[in-house]
Structure 1
Protein backbone atom coordinates (compact mmCIF):
# COMPACT_ATOMS: atom_id res chain seq x y z
CA UNK A 1 0.00 0.00 0.00
CA UNK A 2 2.82 2.41 0.77
CA UNK A 3 4.35 1.85 -2.70
CA UNK A 4 0.96 2.51 -4.32
CA UNK A 5 0.44 5.75 -2.42
CA UNK A 6 3.88 7.05 -3.40
CA UNK A 7 3.15 6.35 -7.06
CA UNK A 8 -0.19 8.12 -6.77
CA UNK A 9 1.26 11.29 -5.27
CA UNK A 10 4.45 11.62 -7.29
CA UNK A 11 2.75 13.31 -10.32
CA UNK A 12 1.00 15.74 -7.97
CA UNK A 13 4.30 16.57 -6.29
CA UNK A 14 5.96 17.06 -9.66
CA UNK A 15 3.21 19.44 -10.75
CA UNK A 16 3.54 21.45 -7.55
CA UNK A 17 7.28 21.74 -8.02
CA UNK A 18 6.78 22.83 -11.63
CA UNK A 19 4.25 25.50 -10.62
CA UNK A 20 6.57 26.77 -7.91
CA UNK A 21 9.41 27.00 -10.41
CA UNK A 22 7.25 28.94 -12.86
CA UNK A 23 6.20 31.39 -10.16
CA UNK A 24 9.80 31.92 -9.15
CA UNK A 25 10.75 32.82 -12.72
CA UNK A 26 8.05 35.52 -12.94
CA UNK A 27 7.42 36.83 -9.42
CA UNK A 28 4.64 39.28 -8.75
CA UNK A 29 5.94 42.74 -7.83
CA UNK A 30 5.87 43.26 -4.06
CA UNK A 31 3.77 46.17 -2.73
CA UNK A 32 6.56 47.04 -0.28
CA UNK A 33 8.74 47.92 -3.27
CA UNK A 34 6.83 51.17 -3.61
CA UNK A 35 8.29 52.46 -0.33
CA UNK A 36 11.74 50.94 -0.78
CA UNK A 37 13.36 54.39 -0.86
CA UNK A 38 11.39 55.64 2.14
CA UNK A 39 8.03 56.88 3.43
CA UNK A 40 8.31 60.63 2.75
CA UNK A 41 5.91 61.78 5.47
CA UNK A 42 5.95 58.83 7.87
CA UNK A 43 2.34 58.15 6.86
CA UNK A 44 0.39 55.43 8.67
CA UNK A 45 -3.00 53.79 8.09
CA UNK A 46 -4.46 55.59 11.10
CA UNK A 47 -7.78 57.43 10.55
CA UNK A 48 -6.81 59.70 13.43
CA UNK A 49 -4.19 61.17 11.06
CA UNK A 50 -6.52 62.43 8.28
CA UNK A 51 -3.94 64.74 6.70
CA UNK A 52 -1.31 61.98 6.34
CA UNK A 53 -3.20 58.73 5.82
CA UNK A 54 -1.31 55.83 4.25
CA UNK A 55 -2.91 53.80 1.48
CA UNK A 56 -0.53 50.96 0.56
CA UNK A 57 -1.94 49.39 -2.58
CA UNK A 58 -0.39 46.58 -4.63
CA UNK A 59 0.21 49.07 -7.46
CA UNK A 60 1.52 52.11 -5.49
CA UNK A 61 1.58 53.72 -2.07
CA UNK A 62 0.29 57.16 -1.13
CA UNK A 63 -0.27 59.62 1.68
CA UNK A 64 -3.79 61.05 1.47
CA UNK A 65 -4.88 64.44 2.80
CA UNK A 66 -8.59 64.21 3.61
CA UNK A 67 -9.06 67.97 3.94
CA UNK A 68 -7.43 68.71 0.56
CA UNK A 69 -9.12 65.77 -1.21
CA UNK A 70 -5.84 64.81 -2.90
CA UNK A 71 -2.66 62.92 -2.07
CA UNK A 72 0.34 64.57 -0.44
CA UNK A 73 2.47 62.16 -2.46
CA UNK A 74 2.29 58.92 -4.42
CA UNK A 75 5.28 56.56 -4.62
CA UNK A 76 5.74 53.61 -6.99
CA UNK A 77 8.30 51.20 -8.39
CA UNK A 78 8.47 50.79 -12.16
CA UNK A 79 10.04 47.76 -13.82
CA UNK A 80 9.33 45.53 -16.80
CA UNK A 81 7.12 43.33 -14.59
CA UNK A 82 4.60 46.18 -14.40
CA UNK A 83 4.35 46.56 -18.15
CA UNK A 84 2.21 44.46 -20.45
CA UNK A 85 -0.64 44.62 -22.94
CA UNK A 86 -3.57 45.60 -20.72
CA UNK A 87 -5.54 48.49 -22.15
CA UNK A 88 -6.37 51.80 -20.53
CA UNK A 89 -9.44 51.20 -18.37
CA UNK A 90 -10.62 54.83 -17.95
CA UNK A 91 -12.80 53.82 -15.00
CA UNK A 92 -12.32 56.90 -12.83
CA UNK A 93 -14.00 56.28 -9.47
CA UNK A 94 -14.00 56.96 -5.74
CA UNK A 95 -11.55 55.02 -3.59
CA UNK A 96 -13.46 52.57 -1.36
CA UNK A 97 -10.42 52.08 0.90
CA UNK A 98 -10.80 55.48 2.54
CA UNK A 99 -12.01 55.34 6.16
CA UNK A 100 -15.75 55.28 6.80
CA UNK A 101 -17.23 58.74 7.03
CA UNK A 102 -14.58 60.49 4.92
CA UNK A 103 -15.78 62.34 1.85
CA UNK A 104 -14.97 60.36 -1.29
CA UNK A 105 -13.95 62.44 -4.27
CA UNK A 106 -15.98 61.29 -7.26
CA UNK A 107 -15.22 60.80 -10.94
CA UNK A 108 -17.41 63.85 -11.60
CA UNK A 109 -15.75 66.09 -9.00
CA UNK A 110 -13.52 67.77 -11.65
CA UNK A 111 -16.22 68.06 -14.34
CA UNK A 112 -16.26 71.41 -16.19
CA UNK A 113 -13.56 72.75 -13.87
CA UNK A 114 -10.93 73.43 -16.53
CA UNK A 115 -8.57 70.98 -14.81
CA UNK A 116 -7.71 67.42 -15.79
CA UNK A 117 -7.99 64.45 -13.49
CA UNK A 118 -4.20 64.24 -13.48
CA UNK A 119 -2.71 60.86 -12.66
CA UNK A 120 0.12 60.74 -10.15
CA UNK A 121 1.01 57.08 -10.82
CA UNK A 122 0.36 56.98 -14.60
CA UNK A 123 -1.96 54.55 -16.30
CA UNK A 124 0.82 53.56 -18.74
CA UNK A 125 3.08 52.52 -15.82
CA UNK A 126 0.58 49.79 -14.91
CA UNK A 127 -0.32 47.73 -17.97
CA UNK A 128 0.58 44.21 -16.79
CA UNK A 129 -3.05 43.42 -15.93
CA UNK A 130 -6.39 45.16 -16.27
CA UNK A 131 -6.67 45.22 -12.47
CA UNK A 132 -3.34 47.02 -12.18
CA UNK A 133 -4.34 49.59 -14.75
CA UNK A 134 -7.76 50.05 -13.18
CA UNK A 135 -6.14 50.87 -9.83
CA UNK A 136 -4.53 53.97 -11.34
CA UNK A 137 -7.98 55.45 -11.97
CA UNK A 138 -8.92 55.72 -8.30
CA UNK A 139 -9.51 59.37 -7.44
CA UNK A 140 -6.99 59.22 -4.59
CA UNK A 141 -4.38 58.92 -7.37
CA UNK A 142 -5.58 62.14 -9.06
CA UNK A 143 -4.89 65.83 -8.65
CA UNK A 144 -6.50 68.80 -10.42
CA UNK A 145 -3.87 69.51 -13.05
CA UNK A 146 -3.74 72.15 -15.77
CA UNK A 147 -4.37 70.25 -19.04
CA UNK A 148 -1.20 71.44 -20.74
CA UNK A 149 0.81 70.29 -17.74
CA UNK A 150 -0.89 66.90 -17.53
CA UNK A 151 -1.09 66.10 -21.23
CA UNK A 152 2.25 67.49 -22.40
CA UNK A 153 4.83 68.49 -19.78
CA UNK A 154 4.24 65.63 -17.33
CA UNK A 155 3.33 63.16 -20.07
CA UNK A 156 6.71 63.76 -21.70
CA UNK A 157 8.58 63.01 -18.46
CA UNK A 158 6.41 59.92 -17.91
CA UNK A 159 7.35 58.60 -21.36
CA UNK A 160 11.01 59.36 -20.73
CA UNK A 161 10.95 57.55 -17.37
CA UNK A 162 9.54 54.41 -18.99
CA UNK A 163 12.22 54.49 -21.69
CA UNK A 164 14.88 53.43 -19.13
CA UNK A 165 13.30 49.98 -18.75
CA UNK A 166 14.45 48.86 -22.20
CA UNK A 167 18.11 49.32 -21.25
CA UNK A 168 18.06 47.11 -18.15
CA UNK A 169 16.95 49.65 -15.55
CA UNK A 170 14.24 49.97 -12.95
CA UNK A 171 12.81 53.27 -11.79
CA UNK A 172 11.42 54.67 -8.55
CA UNK A 173 9.09 57.64 -8.78
CA UNK A 174 7.58 59.88 -6.11
CA UNK A 175 5.14 62.61 -7.17
CA UNK A 176 2.89 65.09 -5.45
CA UNK A 177 1.79 68.67 -5.19
CA UNK A 178 1.70 71.58 -2.78
CA UNK A 179 0.28 75.06 -2.37
CA UNK A 180 -3.16 76.32 -3.27
CA UNK A 181 -4.46 77.78 -6.51
CA UNK A 182 -3.79 76.94 -10.15
CA UNK A 183 -4.81 78.10 -13.60
CA UNK A 184 -6.67 75.74 -15.91
CA UNK A 185 -8.54 76.32 -19.16
CA UNK A 186 -11.31 78.20 -17.29
CA UNK A 187 -8.89 80.42 -15.41
CA UNK A 188 -7.67 80.52 -11.83
CA UNK A 189 -9.24 78.39 -9.09
CA UNK A 190 -8.33 77.37 -5.55
CA UNK A 191 -10.82 74.52 -5.02
CA UNK A 192 -13.23 72.22 -6.85
CA UNK A 193 -16.28 70.22 -5.81
CA UNK A 194 -17.71 72.86 -3.45
CA UNK A 195 -14.39 73.30 -1.70
CA UNK A 196 -13.74 69.62 -1.10
CA UNK A 197 -10.80 69.33 -3.53
CA UNK A 198 -7.84 71.72 -3.37
CA UNK A 199 -6.28 72.88 -6.62
CA UNK A 200 -2.52 72.81 -6.00
CA UNK A 201 -0.22 75.64 -7.02
CA UNK A 202 2.75 73.38 -7.85
CA UNK A 203 3.23 69.80 -9.08
CA UNK A 204 6.49 67.98 -8.37
CA UNK A 205 8.13 64.67 -9.24
CA UNK A 206 11.33 62.81 -8.33
CA UNK A 207 12.63 59.99 -10.57
CA UNK A 208 15.46 57.64 -9.48
CA UNK A 209 17.02 55.38 -12.14
CA UNK A 210 18.85 52.20 -11.12
CA UNK A 211 20.20 49.14 -12.96
CA UNK A 212 17.98 46.13 -12.20
CA UNK A 213 19.05 44.47 -8.96
CA UNK A 214 18.14 43.88 -5.33
CA UNK A 215 18.42 45.82 -2.09
CA UNK A 216 17.67 48.96 -4.07
CA UNK A 217 17.98 51.69 -1.43
CA UNK A 218 21.49 50.50 -0.54
CA UNK A 219 22.47 50.51 -4.23
CA UNK A 220 21.68 54.19 -4.75
CA UNK A 221 25.04 55.94 -5.00
CA UNK A 222 26.33 59.47 -5.40
CA UNK A 223 26.45 58.86 -9.16
CA UNK A 224 22.85 57.61 -9.44
CA UNK A 225 20.79 59.76 -11.78
CA UNK A 226 17.99 61.52 -9.95
CA UNK A 227 15.59 63.79 -11.84
CA UNK A 228 13.54 66.27 -9.80
CA UNK A 229 11.06 68.74 -11.29
CA UNK A 230 8.74 71.33 -9.76
CA UNK A 231 6.22 72.81 -12.20
CA UNK A 232 3.60 75.55 -11.87
CA UNK A 233 0.05 74.22 -12.11
CA UNK A 234 -0.64 76.70 -14.87
CA UNK A 235 -1.94 76.08 -18.37
CA UNK A 236 0.61 78.53 -19.78
CA UNK A 237 3.68 76.59 -18.66
CA UNK A 238 6.38 75.30 -21.00
CA UNK A 239 5.83 71.84 -22.46
CA UNK A 240 9.52 71.02 -21.88
CA UNK A 241 9.84 69.32 -18.51
CA UNK A 242 13.58 70.01 -18.45
CA UNK A 243 12.77 73.68 -17.90
CA UNK A 244 11.56 72.86 -14.41
CA UNK A 245 14.43 70.78 -13.09
CA UNK A 246 15.32 71.47 -9.48
CA UNK A 247 16.83 69.70 -6.47
CA UNK A 248 15.26 67.19 -4.16
CA UNK A 249 16.36 69.50 -1.33
CA UNK A 250 14.26 72.31 -2.79
CA UNK A 251 11.17 70.11 -3.03
CA UNK A 252 11.68 68.97 0.56
CA UNK A 253 11.98 72.58 1.70
CA UNK A 254 8.71 73.47 -0.07
CA UNK A 255 6.73 70.45 1.12
CA UNK A 256 8.21 69.47 4.49
CA UNK A 257 8.72 65.92 3.23
CA UNK A 258 11.79 63.72 3.70
CA UNK A 259 12.31 62.14 0.30
CA UNK A 260 14.64 59.16 -0.31
CA UNK A 261 14.96 58.72 3.47
CA UNK A 262 15.93 55.03 3.16
CA UNK A 263 18.99 55.90 1.08
CA UNK A 264 22.26 56.16 3.07
CA UNK A 265 22.56 59.67 4.55
CA UNK A 266 25.92 60.45 2.94
CA UNK A 267 24.50 59.58 -0.48
CA UNK A 268 21.33 61.61 0.13
CA UNK A 269 23.44 64.66 0.88
CA UNK A 270 25.00 64.49 -2.58
CA UNK A 271 22.13 63.46 -4.83
CA UNK A 272 19.47 65.62 -3.17
CA UNK A 273 21.53 68.79 -3.68
CA UNK A 274 22.19 68.20 -7.38
CA UNK A 275 20.15 69.49 -10.32
CA UNK A 276 19.95 66.92 -13.12
CA UNK A 277 21.66 67.94 -16.35
CA UNK A 278 21.12 64.76 -18.35
CA UNK A 279 19.21 64.38 -21.62
CA UNK A 280 15.45 64.96 -21.67
CA UNK A 281 14.50 62.48 -24.38
Structure 2
Protein backbone atom coordinates (compact mmCIF):
# COMPACT_ATOMS: atom_id res chain seq x y z
CA UNK A 1 0.00 0.00 0.00
CA UNK A 2 1.18 3.48 -0.85
CA UNK A 3 -0.39 6.91 -1.21
CA UNK A 4 -0.77 6.14 -4.94
CA UNK A 5 -3.69 3.82 -4.07
CA UNK A 6 -5.50 6.35 -1.90
CA UNK A 7 -8.03 8.91 -3.07
CA UNK A 8 -11.59 10.04 -2.42
CA UNK A 9 -13.61 7.18 -3.94
CA UNK A 10 -16.35 6.08 -1.53
CA UNK A 11 -16.81 2.49 -0.40
CA UNK A 12 -18.70 0.69 -3.17
CA UNK A 13 -20.10 -2.22 -1.09
CA UNK A 14 -20.73 -4.15 -4.32
CA UNK A 15 -19.87 -7.67 -3.13
CA UNK A 16 -19.82 -9.99 -6.13
CA UNK A 17 -18.70 -13.39 -7.35
CA UNK A 18 -15.38 -13.33 -9.22
CA UNK A 19 -16.16 -13.97 -12.87
CA UNK A 20 -12.45 -14.38 -13.71
CA UNK A 21 -12.18 -17.74 -11.96
CA UNK A 22 -11.50 -20.66 -14.30
CA UNK A 23 -14.47 -22.36 -15.90
CA UNK A 24 -15.89 -25.07 -13.67
CA UNK A 25 -14.63 -23.55 -10.42
CA UNK A 26 -17.21 -22.81 -7.75
CA UNK A 27 -17.83 -19.09 -7.47
CA UNK A 28 -18.58 -17.92 -3.95
CA UNK A 29 -21.41 -15.38 -4.15
CA UNK A 30 -22.29 -12.18 -2.35
CA UNK A 31 -24.83 -14.05 -0.17
CA UNK A 32 -22.73 -17.15 0.51
CA UNK A 33 -22.01 -16.03 4.09
CA UNK A 34 -25.59 -14.91 4.82
CA UNK A 35 -26.90 -15.97 8.23
CA UNK A 36 -23.61 -17.66 9.12
CA UNK A 37 -22.51 -15.31 11.88
CA UNK A 38 -19.29 -14.57 9.99
CA UNK A 39 -18.39 -11.36 8.17
CA UNK A 40 -17.20 -11.15 4.60
CA UNK A 41 -13.76 -10.13 5.83
CA UNK A 42 -11.62 -8.28 3.30
CA UNK A 43 -8.04 -9.45 2.79
CA UNK A 44 -7.19 -6.22 0.95
CA UNK A 45 -9.30 -3.56 2.69
CA UNK A 46 -11.71 -1.35 0.78
CA UNK A 47 -10.20 1.77 2.38
CA UNK A 48 -6.76 0.84 0.97
CA UNK A 49 -8.07 1.15 -2.60
CA UNK A 50 -9.85 4.48 -2.93
CA UNK A 51 -8.09 5.84 -6.02
CA UNK A 52 -10.88 4.79 -8.40
CA UNK A 53 -14.24 3.05 -8.50
CA UNK A 54 -12.65 0.11 -10.34
CA UNK A 55 -9.96 -0.31 -7.69
CA UNK A 56 -12.46 -0.12 -4.83
CA UNK A 57 -14.91 -2.49 -6.54
CA UNK A 58 -12.12 -5.05 -6.99
CA UNK A 59 -11.81 -5.33 -3.21
CA UNK A 60 -15.45 -6.49 -3.05
CA UNK A 61 -14.90 -9.60 -5.18
CA UNK A 62 -15.62 -12.63 -3.02
CA UNK A 63 -12.16 -14.02 -3.86
CA UNK A 64 -10.86 -11.19 -1.61
CA UNK A 65 -12.95 -12.38 1.36
CA UNK A 66 -12.52 -14.82 4.21
CA UNK A 67 -15.16 -15.81 6.78
CA UNK A 68 -14.10 -13.71 9.73
CA UNK A 69 -15.58 -13.44 13.21
CA UNK A 70 -17.29 -10.01 13.36
CA UNK A 71 -15.28 -8.75 16.34
CA UNK A 72 -12.04 -9.77 14.63
CA UNK A 73 -13.00 -8.14 11.32
CA UNK A 74 -14.67 -4.98 12.61
CA UNK A 75 -12.35 -4.20 15.51
CA UNK A 76 -9.01 -6.05 15.77
CA UNK A 77 -8.23 -6.16 12.04
CA UNK A 78 -9.88 -2.80 11.37
CA UNK A 79 -7.64 -1.21 14.01
CA UNK A 80 -4.55 -2.65 12.33
CA UNK A 81 -5.77 -1.55 8.88
CA UNK A 82 -6.29 1.98 10.18
CA UNK A 83 -2.80 1.96 11.69
CA UNK A 84 -1.35 0.85 8.35
CA UNK A 85 -2.97 3.85 6.66
CA UNK A 86 -1.46 6.07 9.38
CA UNK A 87 1.98 4.69 8.47
CA UNK A 88 1.29 5.31 4.78
CA UNK A 89 0.18 8.88 5.42
CA UNK A 90 3.44 9.43 7.33
CA UNK A 91 5.47 8.84 4.14
CA UNK A 92 5.86 5.08 4.05
CA UNK A 93 4.89 2.34 1.64
CA UNK A 94 3.83 -1.02 3.00
CA UNK A 95 4.10 -4.54 1.67
CA UNK A 96 1.15 -6.41 3.17
CA UNK A 97 0.77 -10.18 2.94
CA UNK A 98 -2.16 -11.83 4.68
CA UNK A 99 -4.20 -14.96 4.77
CA UNK A 100 -5.70 -17.61 6.96
CA UNK A 101 -5.11 -21.22 7.94
CA UNK A 102 -6.65 -24.04 9.89
CA UNK A 103 -10.30 -24.99 10.01
CA UNK A 104 -13.06 -23.87 12.36
CA UNK A 105 -13.84 -20.49 13.87
CA UNK A 106 -16.35 -18.99 16.27
CA UNK A 107 -18.59 -16.26 14.87
CA UNK A 108 -21.67 -14.48 16.16
CA UNK A 109 -23.72 -17.70 15.91
CA UNK A 110 -21.09 -20.00 17.42
CA UNK A 111 -18.54 -22.45 16.06
CA UNK A 112 -18.49 -23.55 12.41
CA UNK A 113 -16.03 -25.27 10.11
CA UNK A 114 -17.69 -24.46 6.78
CA UNK A 115 -20.29 -22.17 5.17
CA UNK A 116 -22.28 -22.27 1.96
CA UNK A 117 -23.21 -25.97 2.12
CA UNK A 118 -19.62 -26.96 2.84
CA UNK A 119 -18.10 -25.03 -0.06
CA UNK A 120 -16.35 -22.34 2.01
CA UNK A 121 -13.94 -23.26 4.81
CA UNK A 122 -14.04 -21.17 7.98
CA UNK A 123 -10.41 -20.63 9.01
CA UNK A 124 -9.17 -21.09 12.56
CA UNK A 125 -6.57 -18.32 12.30
CA UNK A 126 -6.15 -15.05 10.40
CA UNK A 127 -2.64 -13.65 9.88
CA UNK A 128 -0.95 -10.61 8.40
CA UNK A 129 2.65 -9.54 7.71
CA UNK A 130 3.53 -5.88 7.05
CA UNK A 131 6.90 -4.59 5.86
CA UNK A 132 7.26 -0.85 6.46
CA UNK A 133 9.57 1.11 4.13
CA UNK A 134 10.03 4.83 3.52
CA UNK A 135 8.74 5.77 0.06
CA UNK A 136 11.31 4.88 -2.58
CA UNK A 137 12.25 2.30 -5.20
CA UNK A 138 14.19 -1.00 -5.40
CA UNK A 139 12.17 -2.02 -2.39
CA UNK A 140 13.40 -5.56 -1.68
CA UNK A 141 17.00 -4.37 -1.63
CA UNK A 142 16.08 -1.58 0.81
CA UNK A 143 14.88 -4.02 3.48
CA UNK A 144 17.57 -4.13 6.17
CA UNK A 145 17.93 -5.89 9.51
CA UNK A 146 16.42 -2.80 11.17
CA UNK A 147 13.36 -2.57 8.89
CA UNK A 148 10.11 -2.73 10.82
CA UNK A 149 8.18 -5.90 10.07
CA UNK A 150 4.85 -6.43 11.84
CA UNK A 151 3.42 -9.96 11.98
CA UNK A 152 0.15 -10.87 13.67
CA UNK A 153 -1.66 -14.18 14.02
CA UNK A 154 -5.16 -13.99 15.50
CA UNK A 155 -7.75 -16.59 16.43
CA UNK A 156 -10.87 -16.38 14.26
CA UNK A 157 -13.02 -15.96 17.33
CA UNK A 158 -15.68 -13.49 18.40
CA UNK A 159 -14.17 -13.08 21.88
CA UNK A 160 -10.84 -11.85 20.49
CA UNK A 161 -9.18 -8.81 22.07
CA UNK A 162 -9.58 -5.64 20.03
CA UNK A 163 -5.94 -4.64 20.48
CA UNK A 164 -4.06 -6.09 17.50
CA UNK A 165 -0.73 -5.64 19.26
CA UNK A 166 -1.69 -8.49 21.59
CA UNK A 167 -1.34 -10.93 18.67
CA UNK A 168 2.13 -10.01 17.43
CA UNK A 169 4.32 -12.94 16.48
CA UNK A 170 7.22 -13.70 14.14
CA UNK A 171 7.21 -14.21 10.40
CA UNK A 172 9.02 -17.47 11.11
CA UNK A 173 6.05 -18.70 13.17
CA UNK A 174 3.57 -17.83 10.40
CA UNK A 175 5.77 -19.58 7.85
CA UNK A 176 5.89 -22.67 10.09
CA UNK A 177 2.09 -22.66 10.42
CA UNK A 178 1.32 -22.09 6.74
CA UNK A 179 4.23 -23.62 4.83
CA UNK A 180 4.79 -20.36 2.95
CA UNK A 181 8.19 -18.74 2.33
CA UNK A 182 7.48 -15.06 2.95
CA UNK A 183 9.75 -12.11 2.08
CA UNK A 184 11.63 -14.42 -0.27
CA UNK A 185 12.94 -11.54 -2.44
CA UNK A 186 14.89 -10.19 0.54
CA UNK A 187 18.45 -11.38 1.14
CA UNK A 188 18.73 -14.48 3.33
CA UNK A 189 20.78 -12.63 5.96
CA UNK A 190 18.17 -9.91 6.32
CA UNK A 191 15.32 -12.42 6.26
CA UNK A 192 16.80 -14.38 9.15
CA UNK A 193 16.98 -11.20 11.24
CA UNK A 194 13.59 -9.63 10.53
CA UNK A 195 11.61 -12.88 10.34
CA UNK A 196 12.67 -14.01 13.82
CA UNK A 197 11.80 -10.75 15.59
CA UNK A 198 8.49 -9.83 17.24
CA UNK A 199 7.59 -6.21 16.53
CA UNK A 200 7.58 -3.98 19.60
CA UNK A 201 6.76 -0.69 17.92
CA UNK A 202 3.75 1.59 18.46
CA UNK A 203 0.22 0.35 17.70
CA UNK A 204 -1.50 3.66 16.99
Say whether the fold is shared (TM-score over 0.5): yes
User: How far apart, CA to CA, are the structure 2 residues paired with 1:233 and 1:82?
Assistant: 28
Deviation (angstroms), 1:164: 1.1
> 1:48-67: CA deviations, max 9, x gaps?
xxxxxxxxxxxxxxxxxxxx
List gaps (5 residues or longer) in structure 2: none
Aligned partners of 1:206, 1:118: CA distance in 2, in Å? 17
**Structure-2 residue corresponding to 1:248:** 171
The number of equivalent residue pairs is 204
Alpha-carbon separation, structure 2, partners of 1:228 and 1:139: 24
Tell me if 1:147 matches 2:70. yes
Partner of 2:195: 272
Structure 1 runs, 4 residues or longer, greater than 4 Å off: none
Q: Distance in 2 between matches of 1:200 and 1:167?
A: 33
d(CA) in 2 for partners of 1:213 and 1:207? Answer: 16
1:94-109 pair list within 5 angstroms: 94-109=17-32
Cα distance in 1 for residues equivalent to 2:22 and 2:89:
39
Partner of 1:167: 90
- How far apart, CA to CA, are the structure 1 residues paired with 2:197 and 2:118? 37
Determine the C-alpha separation between the residues in 1 that align with 2:62 and 2:20.
11
2:121 matched residue in structure 1: 198
- In structure 2, distance between residues paired with 1:100 and 1:194: 20
Task: Tell me the distance in 2 between the aligned counterparts of 1:211 and 1:280.
Answer: 18
Corresponding residue number in structure 2 for 1:231: 154
Give 1:156 shift.
Answer: 0.2
Q: What residue is the counterpart of 1:125 in the other structure?
A: 48
Q: CA deviation at 1:165?
A: 1.7
**Deviation of 1:166 (Å):** 2.1
Alignment root-mean-square deviation, CA: 0.4
Q: 1:263 aligns with which of 156, 165, 186?
A: 186
Task: Determine the C-alpha separation between the residues in 1 that align with 2:163 and 2:92.
Answer: 23
Give TM-score scaled by structure 2 length. 0.99
Highest CA radius of gyration, 1 or 2?
A: 1
Q: Distance in 1 between matches of 2:201 and 2:121?
A: 33
Q: Distance in 1 between matches of 2:152 and 2:159?
A: 17
Matched, 1:222 2:145: yes
Query: 1:187-235 CA distances to partner (integer Å, 9 max, x unpaired)?
Result: 0000000000000000000011000111100100000000000000000
CA distance in 1, matches of 2:76, 2:176: 23
Query: What secondary structure sits across from 1:157 in the alignment?
Result: helix
